[in-house]
Chains A and B, each alone.
Chain A
Amino acid sequence: MKAVRLTVKGFGPYVEEQEVDFLQLKDAALYLITGPTGSGKTTILDAICFSLYGDTSGGGRDGRQMRSDFLQPTQVTEITFDFDIGPDSYRVRRTPAQVRLRRRGTGTTEEPATATLWRRTGVTDPNSDGEVLAPQPTTVTEKVTELLGFECGQFRQVVLLPQGEFRKFLSATSREREQILEVLFQTETFRHIEEDLKAKAKAIEEEIQTSRQRVGTFLEAAQVKSEDELCQRRDAAHQRLQEVDGELAVARQAETDAQQTLEVARSTAEKLAEVGAAEIALSAVQGRQAIVAAAKAKAAAARRAEQLIDLERSVQTRIGEHSTAEAKSKTCQRERLEAEQAQSKARDQLTAEEGRQEERTEAGREVQRLSGLRERVEKIVLAGTELEHAEREHQQEAAECSRLESEVQRLTQEVALREERITALRTSGQRAEFLSLHEQKLDSALQSRRRLDQVNAELGGANRRLEKAEAAFHQKNDTVREARQRLEQLQGEWIAGQAAILASTLTSGCPCPVCGSTEHPAPASSEGALPAEQDLKQLQVKLRDLEAQTEQQRKLADQSRNDVTRLTTEAAGLTAQLGEAAAMAVHELEAQLAQTHQQLGDARRAVEEASILAVAQVRDRGTLADLSTQMSAARLRLQGASNRHAAARQAVAERQDGVPEALRTVELLDAAIGTAAARLQELTSAYEAARTAVEESGREAARCVAAHEAADTATAIAAERAREVQAQFMTRLADLGFSSSAEFDAAKKTVPQVAQMESEVRQFEADLAAAQSRMELASQNAAGLQPPDIEAFERGLQAAKAKVAALVTDQHQCSEIVKAADRFLNQLKEAREKLQTLEIAHSVYGKIADVACGDNQMRITFQRFVQGTLFEDVLQAASLRLRKMSKGRFELQRALRAADGRQSGGLDIVVLDSHTGTTRPVSSLSGGEGFMASLSLALGLADVVQNHAGGVRLESLFIDEGFGSLDAEALDQALQVLTELRQGGRSIGIISHVAELKERISTRIEVVPQARGSIARIVGGIPAAAVN
């Protein structure tokens, strides 16, 4: 089985349709299916398993549960899997049972699982499905099992090693392995052989039983206890039989004798009886004689009558002729009378017609007159048509005139109205100028007003600043003054102090440093403390600072004052400008401005409209002029038409003058002419008819007379002839001996009647002769015979017969007994022989059946033995690989001894560890070692299966996890082993998250989780376009 393409929709984490094209991976020996945990890697294998068998790979998730939870209720879960088996391609599509929304109406419906299998050998178009092989889930699974060679459980152990379950095959019991191997290697023949052997042995046993029973039945049927008794009985019967045979022969002879005597007696009796009979017959015949004679006479008379028949007939014909002739004569007479009557009538008619001559001429004249009128009438008609024409014309012209008039009127009205409108519009337009000026003015006023507001506001601010500045200034000024005072004070003190110091140095007599006087009357004395020079200086500095600040403040105040003045002047100016507008609020001004603007717009539009209307006006005026000219022309035409009309009328009146009204049209005239002509015709033809009638009737009358006379003559002739013949007949009658015709009639007989009578006569004569001869014979035979005694002879015969019969019955009985006894003896012998053979056969079959079914020392059945050899091959192939993977340490071998004496074994596996040199059970392998062993086993199994002729093909293999349990070296080895499989044309898909594998295997199917569900994409394979 080689995977080709898998399409998954709505299954597990794959919401949208996801296609995995395995052909892109066909160049890679190994490909990796990788992705984060839970992204949907195992789901791919589940999908493959599900599509083939309706069951997922782990067995833990069922089809229903796999339906993606991300799906809308309208979306359907569906899996399509294309695969090849050898040269054939197949496709299977399966949907699990799912609940989905109804397409019509509301609510959900449970849709059952569906599946279809197609064969697609030779189909290249990926959308066409091919030939359907199985249309429903159960049949599809069956067919897939047949094609692949595996059931689902086996598939999961050989082709698809599921996560955590790869050890199943490794640790299965012999029985389970037997089942798998049976399917794989098709060893069911051997199982059948086992069963057949068993059945055969059992059948033989049963037969033995039945045979034994049969022997018993025979003995019962023969009513003997044993065979010997039967023999005795038989011999006795045989003897008796022989005796009876002898007696029977004698009795038979006696019987024959008695028979003979009886015969003789019987014949004598017969002969005597015959004589009597012959006598009776003769007298009977003689009795008939008289009748016969009478018949004879009749016959003769009839013969005579025959001769007259012809004559009689001719007589009758003649009489007939006579009567017909008479009848004819009568008819002729009648006709004649009629004809004469007709003739006279015709003559009368003719005279009548001649009397009407006047009328005829009159009619002719009328016709002529009317024809003459024809021309005039035609002229009248012509004039009439012309009149009609003129009338129509007149009417048309009148209509045209009135239309034009109304049109002119309408237009004039329109023009007048429009003129008014134009003037109105123009007046309103004139205001436009004025309005625009007004608008401008208002605009500027508004601006000024706004500015005024602004200025006022600023002014308020400036005033406030000024106040503040001045206040500050005054404050500062005060502070300066204070400081100055202090300074002066301090200076004074200092000077005083200096003075005091100086004064202190004063000594009388020394000149004062200040004034030079030598007397010092009042030296200054220090009072209080002497301020330090430092303090003085400080204060001076401070004073200077304060003065500076004051100056600054004064400047500020001045500035503010300037601002105030400026703003006030501006405000005054604006107020003056605005005049009374100053009093109005801004919004009032704005309203006015808007209004003015609107009015201006209106005025401008009015101007435009006026100009448009003016244009229209001009146009209409032009039209009006046209119409007037047209109207005058129309009027002229009207006049002409009415003139013509009058003229025509005149003409018509003239023409009509000479012609009566009833004839004023051509048709009427023609009609009148016609009637007149018809009348003329009528009259002429009547006259003609009368004339011909007369002629004809004359002819007819003549003819009838002639006929009548002829008929009379004919009648006379006929009567004569009849009389002649009659006379002839009568003469003849007398000649032949008939006295009267009545006698003749009586004598007449038909020919058959005559013949019959004659034959009767003949018969009688013959009978008579016969009877007489019989009589003679009988008399001769019975001469000299006596009547015998029959009864006695008969009695003797009966007795003899009875004896014979009794002996015969006896004989029968004896022979019956003998036969029956013989039969039973034979049967018994047969049965005994058969029983013997059966027992021999039973021993043989029983033994081989038992051995084949496992009842032997090693407790191995035949099938398992055969499978065992195959299994050994499998283990050998597996060991090759395992040795490689485990660096030569482990090998798989088959356990020949059953582990348990009761359980049947034969297919158990043990592991040979070369480090210890002994075997150990498979369950003792570690996780990683177990994985390597299972993998080798699966590969070995696949190898052996493929090498079998007609075996199952395993070209794809899937391994779900397990590599994580291997260390780096073991992983290396395992991958090497798997890579070598490429040679066999196999490709292996591995699901693993081991990082090393991701590095080493470049061809991958990456499963990437998305916001809803996952997608799978192929990396590093052949690009999709190059696959084909």
Chain B
Amino acid sequence: MRILHTADLHLGRSLHGQSLLEDQAHVLDQLVSMARAECPDVLIVAGDIYDRAVPPADAVTLLDDVIARLTLDCKLPVILVPGNHDSPERLTFGARILSTCNLHIFSSFGPNNVVSLSDQHGPVDIYSVPFAEPPVARQELDCPEIMDHNSAIQEVVRRIRETRVAGRRSVLLAHGFVAGGEATESERPLVVGGAGAVEPAGLAGFDYVALGHLHRPQTAGHENIHYAGSILAYSFAEAGQVKSVNLVEIGAWGDCKVERLPLRPRHAVRCATGLFEDLKKGSAAGAAIDDYLMITLQDRGPVLDAMGQLRQIYPNLLHVQRAEPVISGEAAAVRLDHRRTSTDQLFSSFFRQVTGQDLTEAESAAFAEVYQQSQIEMREAA
């Protein structure tokens, strides 16, 4: 059984204001060619088909075109599940009708989403778990203990395990964040501070777990839990990653062989750095001057209209920034916290700053006296 596994199409997404639809069309063409060339038994897409709940019209047209080519021309069964970017109700329009044409789109969050295919060794069950927010999962499974994604998925998988037949090869298709995976800055966070990440142990028992959501192709938590990765680089943090599609071969006993088939984008996403003058000479990109670029300027002094000038050389320059020291997380440590510094010191630094001179001894003594008096008065008044 050969399965083509991809995810995170994000049709309709734009990067720094630049629409990526044409690039997505370009890559999806490659996907169709791959389908023709490799002749897999099924294509599974693990979520985030569109980038928004109400996608732009041309994204819908693109998906329609690609799916039509796959199901009608290539006669390839396709299984889709909605991810956290999709609106499940809208995506699964006509699902029952479409399933008669071998296009399966599942939106209900339960153990009944199974597609069974057979090869020469026997049947293979593909279970699909669409993405659902905890409140929705609570309601659909009628299980009030579900508080986060982890518990939701654990519960569904448990029910799947109850219903399935032992000894048959099985594949799980889902969308979520598994503990051990590495996110980039382009995923919409499901998990805040590590809470709610799905435990890999809960996904045991399947021969292949096909996941979507993380944009870098990787395994997470266990060797048969795979993220196919997005089809394009959707942020500058993904610059330099090779995007790919997984081709999985499941043997007679459920053993999996995973091959990553690379995708070539129309314009690569890259970061470049250097001094303004050098960059003006076009040294950043070399041949691929059309790539989507983010340029980090090393200059110390201010540079006027950097974006405007550099854009004339690099037509797809998306972002210009200055080299900054990295500040992570929430508010940084406070400098000169006015509570930790004594008032005298504050005053002397204030004096120095506004007059350019230091306080004389007499002046600092005078200040100290007034300050003490003021303290006493405030204490008495309180």
A124 within 8 A of B: no
B14 within 8 A of A: yes
Q: B1-34 vs A: 1/0 string, CB under 8 Å?
A: 0000000000000101100000000000000000
Given A869-B335, A876-B332, A1026-B144, answer yes or no on A857-B355 (Cβ-Cβ < 8 Å).
yes
Task: Report the Cα distance A887→B18, complex, angstroms.
Answer: 12
B220 within 8 A of A: no
Q: Which residues of A contact B320 (CB under 8 A)?
A: 914-915
Nearest-CB residue, chain A, relative to B340: A949
How far apart are A196's CB and chain B's nearest CB, in angstroms?
5
Q: Which residues of A contact B303 (CB under 8 A)?
A: 917
Nearest-CB residue, chain A, relative to B371: A193
How far apart are B195's CB and chain A's nearest CB, in angstroms?
9
A889 within 8 A of B: yes
Task: Report the Cα distance A1002→B322, complex, angstroms.
Answer: 38
A487 within 8 A of B: no
Q: Which residues of A contact B53 (CB under 8 A)?
A: 995-996, 999-1000
B37 within 8 A of A: no
A1002 touches B135 (CB 8 A): yes
Among B135, B335, B363, residue most surrounded by chain A Cβ atoms (within 10 Å): B135
Given A916-B306, A1002-B136, answer yes or no on A979-B354 (Cβ-Cβ < 8 Å).
no
Q: A954-996 vs B: 1/0 string, CB under 8 Å?
A: 0000000000000011001000100110111000000000011
Q: Which residues of B contact A97 (CB under 8 A)?
A: none
A399 within 8 A of B: no
A187 touches B135 (CB 8 A): no
- Indicate the size class of the contact surface on chain A: 35 or more
How far apart are B243's CB and chain A's nearest CB, in angstroms?
21
Task: Report the Cα distance A557→B274, complex, angstroms.
Answer: 125
A916 touches B308 (CB 8 A): yes
Q: Which residues of B contact A984 (CB under 8 A)?
A: 330
Task: Report the Cα distance A856→B347, complex, angstroms.
Answer: 14
Nearest-CB residue, chain B, relative to A869: B336
Nearest-CB residue, chain B, relative to A1001: B133
Task: Report the Cα distance A190→B347, complex, angstroms.
Answer: 10
Given A870-B338, A948-B339, A979-B189, answer yes or no on A865-B350 (Cβ-Cβ < 8 Å).
yes
Q: B182-206 vs A: 1/0 string, CB under 8 Å?
A: 0000001100110000000000000
Q: Which residues of A contact B87 (CB under 8 A)?
A: 999
Given A196-B374, A968-B52, answer yes or no on A917-B135 (Cβ-Cβ < 8 Å).
no
A40 within 8 A of B: no
Nearest-CB residue, chain A, relative to B364: A848
B189 touches A980 (CB 8 A): yes
Q: B133-153 vs A: 1/0 string, CB under 8 Å?
A: 111100000001001000000
- Indicate the size class of the contact surface on chain B: 35 or more
**At the interface, is chain A mostly helix, strand, loop or mixed?**
helix
Task: Report the Cα distance A190→B305, complex, angstroms.
Answer: 41
Q: A986-1028 vs B: 1/0 string, CB under 8 Å?
A: 0000000001100110110000000000000000110100100
Given A873-B335, A1002-B136, answer yes or no on A196-B188 (Cβ-Cβ < 8 Å).
no
Segment with Cβ contacts to B, from A149-157, A402-410, A715-723, A939-947: A939-947
How far apart are B86's CB and chain A's nearest CB, in angstroms?
9
How far apart are B327's CB and chain A's nearest CB, in angstroms?
7
Q: Which residues of A contact B367 (CB under 8 A)?
A: 197, 848
Given A193-B370, A848-B351, answer yes or no on A887-B319 (Cβ-Cβ < 8 Å).
yes
Given A857-B355, A857-B356, A980-B189, answer yes or no on A877-B304 (Cβ-Cβ < 8 Å).
no
B346 touches A848 (CB 8 A): no
Given A856-B355, A983-B193, answer yes or no on A197-B363 (Cβ-Cβ < 8 Å).
no
Those of A823-876 within 8 Å (CB) of chain B: 840-841, 844-845, 847-848, 851-852, 856-858, 860, 862, 865-866, 869-870, 872-873, 876
Task: Report the Cα distance A915→B144, complex, angstroms.
Answer: 50
Task: Report the Cα distance A29→B188, complex, angstroms.
Answer: 14
Q: Which residues of B contact A1002 (CB under 8 A)?
A: 133, 135-136
Q: Which residues of A are in contact with B by a Cβ distance under 8 Å?
A: 27, 29, 185, 187, 189-190, 192-193, 196-197, 200, 840-841, 844-845, 847-848, 851-852, 856-858, 860, 862, 865-866, 869-870, 872-873, 876-877, 880, 887-889, 914-918, 940, 943-944, 947-949, 968-969, 972, 976, 979-980, 982-984, 995-996, 999-1000, 1002-1003, 1020-1021, 1023, 1026
Known contacts A197-B370, A200-B370; 12 further A-B pairs (Cβ under 8 A): A27-B134, A190-B346, A193-B343, A193-B370, A848-B351, A860-B354, A877-B331, A915-B306, A943-B330, A972-B188, A980-B189, A984-B330
Instruction: List the 4 closest pairs (A to B, CB-CB), nearest first.
Output: A999-B53, A915-B307, A856-B354, A877-B331
